[in-house]
Amino acid sequence: MITYAVRRLGHALLVLWATFTATFFLLYVLPGDAALSKAGVGGDGATLSPAELVRVRADLGLDQPVVGQYATALLHALRGDFGTSTQTGAPALSMYVEAIPETLKLAGSALLLGLVAGTGWALLAAWTRWRFLRQALLALPAVGVSIPTFWIGLLLIQVVSFRWQLLPAIGNDGVRSLVLPALVLAVPTAAMSAQILSRSLEATLHAPYIETARARGASRSRVLLRHALRNSVLPVVTALGMTAGHLIGGSVIMETVFSRSGVGAITVRAVNFQDTPVVLVAVVFAAVVFVGVNLLVDLLYPVIDPRIQLRTTRGAGLLRAGVAT
């Protein structure tokens, strides 16, 4: 168990390091000149004299060789210093971290809503006997993942906020402003978990022990809730890491649609201004969430399903659990 945890932790750190490295080289080496965007000149360097340019480059360490720049950046990042934002001059990390609570409210409530709705939907589909309705219930989640969330959001603003004047259309003002974005953000999560759970329930309901339970007189709903659900829920839990990633991506769009502040809004602004330190923080943060959730899920498997034992045989636990999607 301990060996397993240590090995998984090692793998997690490896992925984080690789994410940082890949993103660093993508952002700092591939594109044009960070010194120019720092000086706010954009693509046109005419307004900056050559001497000033040299000074800005030296300030940013851009006159160093690439490997040296990378080593410095990695060392600083390990101490929590991702450089300063080129828009505001504030430390990139703290700028990002300060915005996390607002996004956490949004993504957290969307996760909760999505999981509850998805589970309920899948159970309803499994419980329904009328074939036509059942097919419809099974088919609808596929529609849910095909509809652009920004479109649903804009439609809801038009109807709920403007026509009915029920909820605020934009902003971060209290719970009322959270309802619409959380609802929309929950749609893909609900649709995905409903699909996964339906497939898993389908397999479980064909198991002999279900027949036994029915033969002993347990009602259909009791069999579904007490016997089948617990054995089918594992794939949904496995997908939690991916779900968290979707929520981070989705909150970028939701915060734009509903003009909310938060991590997503900061990311969009950073991309608009080519604010590379903040983009780097955003990518690494998303990887930390994904890796962290997956690590947690892996270690929680035996609690959720006592039949699972974390084996420490070489290689076996390493990848399969880590990248399960």
Partner 1 sequence: MSLTEQIVPHLEPVHPGDPATAAGAGGRSQPSRRTRSMPARLGRLARQPGLLLAWTVLALVGLAAVAPGLFTDHDPLRPAGPRLTAPSGTFPFGTDNLGRDLFTRVVYGTAESVQAVIIAVLVGLVVGSVLGLLAGYLGGWVDDVLMRVVDVLLAVPALLISLAFITALGFGTVNIAIAVGIGNVASFARVMRAEVLRIKGSAFVEAATFAGIGRLRLLARHILPNTAGPVLVLATLELGLALLSVSALSFLGFGAPPPAPEWGSLVAGGRDYLAAAWWMASIPGFVIAATVLSANRIARSVNRHQVSAF
Footprint of partner 1 on this chain (CB under 8 A)?
Answer: 14-16, 18-19, 22-23, 26-27, 30-31, 142-143, 145-151, 154-155, 157-158, 162, 169, 245-246, 248-250, 252-253, 256-257, 267-268, 270-272, 274, 276, 279, 282-283, 286-287, 290-291, 319, 322-323, 325
Of the pair 27, 299, the CB lying nearest partner 1 is at 27
**Residues 160, 7: Cα–Cα separation, whole Å:** 50
Instruction: Encode burial over 95-130: b for 16+ CB neighbours within 10 A, e otherwise.
Output: bbeebeebbebbbebbbebbbebbbebbbebbeeee
Of the pair 42, 302, the CB lying nearest partner 1 is at 42
Rounded to the nearest 10 degrees, how much is the dihedral formed by the CA atoms of 160, 165, 169, 171? Answer: -140
Element (H, E) at 138: helix 131-144
Shortest reach from residue 249's CB to partner 1, in Å: 3
Of the pair 145, 210, the CB lying nearest partner 1 is at 145
Shortest reach from residue 224's CB to partner 1, in Å: 26
How many alpha carbons fall within 13 Å on the CB side of residue 71? 5
Shortest reach from residue 29's CB to partner 1, in Å: 9
Of the pair 136, 300, the CB lying nearest partner 1 is at 136
Of the pair 201, 286, the CB lying nearest partner 1 is at 286
* All residues at 6 or more sequence positions from 76 whose CB lies less than 8 Å from its CB, including other chains: 82, 83
Shortest reach from residue 69's CB to partner 1, in Å: 15
Shortest reach from residue 90's CB to partner 1, in Å: 18
- β-sheet bridge partners, residue 248: none
